[in-house]
Structure 1
Amino acid sequence: MKTKRVFDGQRGVITSIFVASIFVNLLVLTAPLYMLQLFARVMASGSLPTLLALTTGAAIALVFFFLFDVIRQRLVARLGSRLEARLSPAVLQALISGALPAALRSAEPIRDIQDLRGFVTSPVFIALLDAPWSILFIALIFVFSPILGLVAVAGLAVLLTLGVLSEVMARKPGETAEEAARETNAAVEEMMLNAEIIHAMGKTNAQIGRWRGRAFTAILFGTLVTDRVALMTSLAKATRMGLQIAVLGVGVVLVINN
């Protein structure tokens, strides 16, 4: 099965996800534009009707943001389900007919398709859809002020660095955890196939001991991955908040200096 055929027949769903992403990312600008108009129009004029109109418009925009985000999430979930429903029977048929290499004749290819569905429906896939819009947002910030644009670029560079560090820190223990999990599952399958023989020979406790060692390794390294990713995620959240504060602070300085 060629990789390029994975998304065959899903063009309509993918197009709909792309269109929904356009509206979601445009509507993300609601909050900063609202704040900008508050400073530029409401605070300068002291007009309550202007404040009411801006707030009403922002509320309507937020409703549409919610609707488009929900639509996108559901479309992504359906894309993952459709991929698994279409690919799993084909892979299973290849496994049964012997069309796949001997090294792949196990349940692992089916698990890979389940992993593919998990990736498509995960926040990572949504983040990849939204990532290109960061370029547009930074360009808009540069339109307002080159200084603010430089602050945004610096913040983006820090966030990208944290993302790379998170990947590097989690890769090795993640691979070890996955390998241990595969060995654990294989051991369980082997024990189930030979359950009567193992029980008759009195080796039940020994087999369980071997399984427990592999399972403990998977749990240990899985926990290590979770801890490292959680650390970098929290650091990234704090960095994003700091970036927002930095942009607002620099903006105020620019206003004070006309």
Structure 2
Amino acid sequence: MKKTGFFHRSELAEVLWSFRQEFIVVGIFSMVANLLMLAPTMYMLQIFDRVMASRSDLTLIVMSLITLFLFLVMAFAEWMRSRVLVHAGVRLDGVLGTRVFNASFEARLGQTGASVARAFSDLIQIRQFLTGNGILAFFDIPWAPIYLAVLFFLHPVLGYAALVFAAIQGALAWFGHRHTVAPSEAASKATAESGMYLQSKLRNAEALESMGMVHNLRPHWKARHDKALELHGKAQALSHRISAWSKFIRYSQQSLALGLGALLVIDGQLSPGGMIAANVLMSRALAPIDMLVGTWRGFIGAKGAFERLESLLQAHPERDPALSRVAPQGSVTLRDVVATAPGRPMPILKGVSTSVQAGTVTVVLGPSGSGKSTLARCLMGIWPDVSGEMLLDGLPIDGWDRNELGPHLGYLPQDIELFEGTIAENIARFGKVEPEKVIAAARSTGLHEMILRFPKGYDTPIGEAGNLLSGGQRQRVGLARAVYGNPVLVVLDEPNANLDDVGEAALVQSVQQLKARGCTVFLVTHRPGILAVADRLLILQDGEVQADGPRDAILNALRAAQAAAQSPPPAAATGGLQPTTA
């Protein structure tokens, strides 16, 4: 929050406030355009009341030329204010684009349900409202009283009639907002849920088709789809009824205003030119209100987008760009780390503590569900609900700037996610592709020869999500990405899950090379073949550390405990004590 005088503005409000000069310019052009909107009225008055009475061609020509000039000035003012708003929208996107992008990813890591697409949709909605007819209606409506004043000047009855129609249109706008916003939001939410359900199933189309599950899932999707159609039908029916009433009021206003003017002409209280001018002037006076009615839903949508975006930026403030640290060495310390997740009554990790020196290979073991993958994410600083201390070189890992720290870290998650692009781009993390580093990373994972067999080598496109590669190939490309650029801390979560014997031998070689370069490696696995490269073992059981220490000491303790469990000594000889693991 930023403080200005007695007011506290959020980051988003402060950004919008920085555009006040553009809005002032738009307001000035709006003033010019709206004042010149009186030109048609004055022209009609002059035509009917002066030119037709005097039958003067010269007067007609002069009045027409003056009016055309005023129309050109009015068109220029409207074009300029639209141009200023468009440039302001582009600049708004430039100011907030990167900020919203980064905050969205942080929110996604925090499992808050936010997404990049939703945040950018909110930003686009705000930008479109600020550069569209909606904001122009707010600039035009303050000038409606001027038109009403001219109507009162022509005749008080016309002014009061305009006020009555304005009140009716305002009441219709209020009624429409009160009764259409909630149904429209419910329909949009139901449509989004139906779409998300379908997309989640399409991602697993092969399994669904092969096991004949498509037929079973179709009723579940159809129930959501039918609900969305029903809600949309109700919302559209109500919206169409309100739209029909709005047209009825608008057409009635135009006709009744003309009829009222004719009645005043018959009574001799108004000239024919005044009658025509009053009809045009009343339509112009009510046009901003009518436009406001039409854009009110856009305003409500932009207001909701502003509130969501404001909350997102407040929850994920921008990191200090001046913060810079020396390159890390790779020593890791965990102190009483507790990791939780929404919907789970018990923590996933329960007070995990360990200390690992730089250049050490630590293998993390434990049964499924013991918290190994959660520990891997905590080591990377990407698990949202965590307490305790996670230190890299004695400094909290979440205190680092991610753009600065990222090149020094390598991470291979269980679910390998590659991105549309070439093999080289994926290995290089979509940064600048340095061929020497890409080839070195591929060689260290035994991937180089395999890549050369592809039609375009390292420039081979892998398709969306790497779907042109096999599971083992994706895993090895992900491993090459993790070790790219000589990181100082590498966390590998089940890196050999999809590897054959050749791939696992390449993994062992890669870990040995990382260790030789002084890189700290955490390796989560179920397969014992990788233990040969371990310096330390960390064994988890139900989220707690069961054993932690040098590999040989832990293995000897486990063997001793297993042997003791298979042939327990007499209780009299041991005093009733049983051996425990380290």
TM-score, normalising length: structure 2: 0.40
How far apart are residue 29 of structure 1 and its match?
Answer: 1.0
CA shift in 2, pair 1:77/1:234, >3 Å: farther
Percent pairwise identity: 24
How far off its partner does 1:134 sit?
Answer: 0.8
Map of 1:130 onto structure 2: 140
Cα distance in 1 for residues equivalent to 2:164 and 2:146: 16
| CA displacement, residues 215-240 of structure 1 (integer Å, 9 cap, x when unaligned) | 45255356436524542442343144
Give the superposition deviation at 1:191.
3.0
Alignment partner, residue 40 of structure 1: 49
Change (3 A) 1:77 1:257: closer
Cα displacement (A) at 1:126: 1.9
Asked if the contact 1:183/1:214 (under 8 Å) is kept, the reply is: yes
- Are 2:121 and 1:108 aligned? no
> What's the CA shift for 1:169?
4.0
Partner of 2:83: 74
After superposition, the C-alpha distances for 1:77-103 in whole angstroms (9 at most, x for unaligned) are: 333333334323212211223499743
Q: Secondary structure at the match of 1:7?
A: helix
Alpha-carbon distance, 1:254 to partner? 5.7
Aligned-residue offset at 1:207: 4.4
In structure 2, relative to structure 1, the CA distance for the partners of 1:213 and 1:17 (3 Å cut) is farther
Mapping of residues 25-174 of structure 1, within 5 Å: 25-98=34-107, 102-106=111-115, 107-174=117-184
Q: Distance in 2 between matches of 1:85 and 1:228?
A: 40
- Judged with a 3 Å threshold, the aligned counterparts in structure 2 of structure 1 residues 166 and 19 are, in CA distance, closer, same or farther, namely same
Which has a greater percent of strand?
A: 2
From 227, 233, 242, the equivalent of 1:220 is 233
Contact 1:28 1:65 in 2 (8 A): yes
Distance 1:225 1:120 in 2: 27
Residues 107 and 113 of structure 2 are in contact (CA less than 8 Å); yes or no, is this contact kept in structure 1? no
Contact (CA 8 Å) 1:77, 1:121: kept in 2 or not?
yes
How far off its partner does 1:26 sit? 1.1
8 Å Cα contact 2:180-2:235 kept in structure 1: no
* Alpha-carbon distance between aligned partners in 2 of 1:8 and 1:189, rounded to the nearest angstrom: 39
Structure 2 gap ranges (5+): 1-9, 272-582
Shift of 1:174: 1.1
Q: Is the 8 A contact 2:155 2:270 kept in 1?
A: no
The farther-off stretch of 95-104 and 70-79 is: 95-104
Structure 1's 167 and 242: CA in aligned 2 closer, same or farther, altered over 3 A?
Answer: farther
CA distance in 2, matches of 1:88, 1:48: 59
SS of 1:49 mapped into structure 2 = helix
Tell me: CA distance 1:5–1:55, structure 2 relative to 1, closer, same or farther (3 Å). same
SS at match of 1:132: helix
Structure 2 CA distance for aligned equivalents of residues 63 and 44 of structure 1 = 28
Distance change (3 Å), C-alpha of 1:115 and 1:257: closer
Separation (CA, whole Å) in 1 of partners of 2:269 and 2:66: 28
Which residue is equivalent to 1:245? Answer: 258
Question: How far apart in 1 are the matches of 2:94 and 2:197?
Answer: 28
Asked if structure 1 preserves the Cα contact closer than 8 Å seen for 2:154 and 2:270, the reply is no
Of 13, 29, 33, the match for 1:4: 13
Q: What's the offset of the Cα at 1:160?
A: 1.6
2:192 maps to 1:179: no
Q: Where in structure 1 do 4 or more consecutive aligned residues deviate above 6 Å?
A: none
For residue 25 of structure 1, report the CA deviation from its aligned partner. Answer: 0.8
> Which residue, out of 268, 273, 276, partners 1:255?
268
Rg (Cα) greater in structure = 2
Question: Which 5+ residue runs of structure 1 have no aligned equivalent?
Answer: none
Deviation digits for residues 106-155 of structure 1 (CA, Å, limit 9, x no counterpart): 23222222222232233232222211111121122223332222122112
Amino acid of the structure 1 residue aligned with 2:159: G
**1:206: Cα distance to partner?**
4.7
Q: CA deviation at 1:9?
A: 3.4
- Change beyond 3 A, Cα 1:67–1:257: closer
Could you tell me how far apart the structure 1 residues matched to 2:109 and 2:251 are?
Answer: 47
Deviation at 1:256, TM superposition (A): 4.6
Question: After the TM superposition, which of the residue ranges 195-204 and 59-68 deviates more from structure 2?
Answer: 195-204
| Contact 1:166-1:229 at 8 Å conserved across structures | yes
What is the DSSP-based 3-state SS (H/G/I as helix, E as strand, rest coil) of the residue aligned with 1:26? helix
On the 8 A contact 2:151/2:159 being kept in 1, the answer is yes
The size of the alignment, in residue pairs, is 258
| Equivalent position SS for 2:177 | helix
Q: Is the 8 A contact 1:141 1:148 kept in 2?
A: yes
- What is the Cα deviation at residue 32 of structure 1? 1.2
Q: Which amino acid aligns with 1:161?
A: A
What letter matches 1:123 in structure 2?
A: N
1:214 and 1:151 mapped to 2: Cα distance? Answer: 49
TM-score (norm 1): 0.82
| Cα separation, 1, equivalents of 2:77 and 2:186 | 39
